[in-house]
Chain A
Amino acid sequence: MNEAVQDRSELSALVMQLAAGQIGEAELVRLEALLLDDPSAQRQYHELRALNVELLWKFGKPLPALPVMRQAPFVAPLPHSRTRARARSIVALVASLAAVAVVAFLWSGNGSHPMTAVKPAEMPLFAEMSEVVGNVEIIAEGNDVKFVGTGSKLLSGQTVRTCGDESSTAVVYADGTRLDLANGTTARLWQTVPSETAQKRVFLTIGVMRAEMPSSSDDATMIISTPHAEVRLHGAKLASSVDPTSTYVELEEGTAELIRHVDGQPIRLTQGSFVVCTNNIEPMMAEPLSALPTEPRSIGKIHGSALAFSPDNAFLAVASGERIQLCHPETGERLSALTGHEKSVRHVAIATSADRMVSGGFDPFLIVWDTTKRQELRRFYVGPLGTRCLALSPDNLVLAYVPSHVRQRGELTLCDTNTGEEIHKIEYAKGEIESLAFSPDGVMLATVTGDHQVVVWDPRTGKVLHMLALGKVRAQKLAFTSDGRYLIGTCDDHKIRFWDANRWELCRTHDCGMSGCGSLAVASSGNTVAWGLHDSTVEVWKIDADLEMKQVAVYRKFRKRGPEALAFSANARKLATTRDWELFKIWDVPAEPN
């Protein structure tokens, strides 16, 4: 071997040692001597580095699956073998981005979980797509994307993405392990071979996923990596939801350990507990998934921003993205979808006759639907930014809505639901109107206004009936009790206020604790009321004529905050809950307090 060839081989070896961080000082000096003033060696160096990058991408680096963007972007995922030290190095930057929620997705996995070497063409089939709904795609090596259906095979290393609001799928492994991916979810799936005792890896970039490992596969493990944490589980049932700012994990069965990326803090999850993990260094605790009842009756396969039961119990309408999914009121299974909005739906209201439904949100139009034929009846132009809130009168004749584009003042339009003709346009100069509630007899319309008041209108004349000043406090959501005796409002001082709807006096306040409260729903009968607390709890209460309150149930299986929307079924025996990035749930409500 001549000297030049020997030098070239030595150069290659040293460059690779350096690339892997396995080089000493003397070797570095030698490498520098080989490279300095030698353009040929330097070209070789660049070629080696380029080759190294390509090989890293081919064998060591997960595909940069395009995450589905909702609120904030993700950066492309990092390759595996990265450590938490790197997370610490970027945490300061991440913190500065705050709400932007741009966080590095730490792909977990290192040499402690070696993959059996297999030629690409021989990469084993390891799972099958099942119950594919809507647009579901597999992203293969080279970013080749193909839409798939039930029965499609998955290769290890491929990315599954459920696209759009109506999509979902299940992935079933050979050992019976099952993953359910909700709409808007991106997950890269990996499995070592052989498959019988394989270790499964899921890189959950964004979305909602449930994992169920069969009890017979106790020996097998699964690792779920998210932008915020790594979760290791054994023979478990788990639900995880990842949004740009946090990872929520709840464990129904088995055991799991979560390790936060930012600081490497581990936390052990036991059966019936949940934890929320962010990229902030803040106390992180597993909390019990207590509740009465402990489990929801059913969990839907989509997440939404608003929902409503049809009064005849024919369906549950869930606003999810630009669609309204009509779901089975007991099982949550999707029955059909109403399409027509071009932007996200945030509000739905169903007529007491059950044959009409109104929806609005970011779309400039409100749409009235025929729920029997499941088609659009008519649409009204509201304004370029859509609808801030809406309500249907109990007789279904009047639709009240507030356009979003009107700022610094209030504008409330009352129109004929059937024709769309305007009945009144109410102007309120002192602030924006933010929440609407018709009284059960339809003769009053209560609103929250931006000047810290609750203003009650006569919807027939458009005149003010009552004004309730709240001082520095601001009301959030309003609802009348089913007997019409009280108006209830959740307020930003962590209190729920009850006003007598005859004398218009404040007659009770209920402290909802340190966390505060937001969403509110009142059943159409039985004076049953539910509110969502920001500590991931929903409380259900019965209120009697004297305003005595008895707690009926507490539900705790939510993320860091309670759901954005609540809805009772007509008989008040079911409560539906939802919020963005959380699968909607249907709960049984006990008839009487326990």
Chain B
Amino acid sequence: MQHNEELLQLITRYQRPLSHFISRQVPRDSDAEDVLQEVNLVIWRRADEYQRGTDFGAWVFKIAQFQIMAFRQKLVRDRLQFSDELLAQLARHEFPGVQAADRRREALHLCLEKLDRGDLELVRLRYEAGDDVASLVSRLGRNAKAIYRSLARIHEALMICIRRRLTAEDLT
């Protein structure tokens, strides 16, 4: 039981890093969430294999990688996806790791405060709505393309802001 509780805490701690790891290779959010859930289930199913004191992160990321591969094989039949060539190129970029993600998150929080109220509201609505873009369209009275263009602008602004903050931190 104690082992289970420790494992649960570790899994909870790694949910965010796992989300990042999976989303780099699974471009659709709902698919990435499915894979994350599958990873969680596999971790529990193989809980006995995990030895305390060993590198939990390495273990779960390995599981995640296998689940991503399994997921892709399933997708071959029924969904548009990137070519193997592009996926291989994307995979060459190194995963920045947990600490880098934490720094980016802190920077993001500060950058969000700098957004216009309208932009912040649009971001919030987009992520609250999840896949349901139709509700967003009807609510905002704008077509989907226009919404995505606005979101792209906001995301770029956020990315630039995050980069600047991280650079400034590095310099200090």
Contact = CB atoms under 8 A, between A and B. Distances in A.
Contacts of B124: 59, 117
A234 B145 CA distance: 38
A51 B148 contact: no
A514 to B, nearest CB: 33
B15 A76 contact: yes
Contacts of A72: 4
Contact of A22 (B83, B120, B133): B133
Interface in A27-46: 28, 32, 35-37, 39, 42-46
Given A25-B80, A73-B44, A97-B45, A111 B135 contact: yes
Interface string B17-39: 00110011001111001100110
B63 interface: no
Interface in A2-61: 8-10, 12-13, 15-23, 25, 28, 32, 35-37, 39, 42-60
Contact of B4 (A23, A73, A90, A94): A73
A103 to B, nearest CB: 9
A50 B121 CA distance: 20
Nearest to B80: A28
Contact of A112 (B29, B101, B135): B135
A19 B29 contact: yes
B151 A13 contact: yes
Given A50-B101, A81-B130, A111-B134, A104 B37 contact: yes
B4 A42 contact: no
A81 B132 contact: yes
Interface string A86-114: 10011001100100101010000011101
Nearest to A103: B41
Q: Which of B5, B130, B136 has the most CB of A within 10 A?
A: B130
A235 interface: no
A472 interface: no
Contacts of A22: 133, 144, 148
A109 to B, nearest CB: 9
Contacts of A112: 132, 135
A75 B43 CA distance: 9
Contacts of B130: 20, 60, 79-82, 110-111
Interface bracket on A:
35 or more
B59 interface: no
Contacts of B131: 20-21, 81, 110
A35 B86 contact: yes
B34 A75 contact: no
A507 interface: no
Interface of A is mostly: helix
Contact of B24 (A12, A49, A58, A73): A49
B164 interface: no
Contact of B155 (A23, A48, A111, A114): A48
Contact of B15 (A45, A64, A114): A64
Contact of A46 (B1, B90, B155): B90
A119 B43 CA distance: 36
B149 interface: yes
A100 B47 CA distance: 11
A498 B73 CA distance: 62
Given A55-B123, A60-B128, A80-B130, A89 B151 contact: no
A56 to B, nearest CB: 6
A69 interface: yes
A115 interface: yes
A292 interface: no
A79 B4 CA distance: 23
A94 B9 CA distance: 21
A217 to B, nearest CB: 24
Nearest to B17: A53
Nearest to B74: A89
A43 B90 CA distance: 8
Contacts of B133: 20, 22
Contacts of A35: 82, 86, 89-90
Interface in B101-123: 101, 104-105, 108-109, 112, 117, 120-121, 123
A18 B27 contact: yes
Contacts of A10: 152
A167 B2 CA distance: 21
Contacts of B148: 13, 16-17, 22
Nearest to B94: A46
Contact of A51 (B41, B125, B135, B155): B155
A354 interface: no
Contacts of A9: 149, 152-153, 156
Given A20-B131, A64-B12, A111 B136 contact: yes
24 contacts: A9-B149, A10-B152, A13-B148, A15-B27, A16-B151, A21-B29, A32-B86, A36-B86, A46-B24, A46-B90, A50-B104, A52-B23, A52-B29, A52-B155, A56-B127, A60-B127, A60-B128, A66-B9, A76-B11, A82-B33, A90-B41, A97-B41, A114-B139, A117-B121
Interface of A: 8-10, 12-13, 15-23, 25, 28, 32, 35-37, 39, 42-60, 64, 66-67, 69, 72-76, 78-82, 86, 89-90, 93-94, 97, 100, 102, 104, 110-112, 114-115, 117, 119
Given A36-B89, A69-B5, A76-B12, 15 more contacts: A20-B28, A20-B126, A21-B30, A44-B159, A46-B93, A51-B159, A54-B105, A55-B123, A60-B128, A66-B8, A75-B11, A100-B45, A111-B132, A112-B132, A114-B135
User: 7 shortest A-B CB distances, which residue pairs?
Assistant: A81-B130, A111-B132, A111-B135, A12-B152, A75-B40, A59-B127, A60-B127
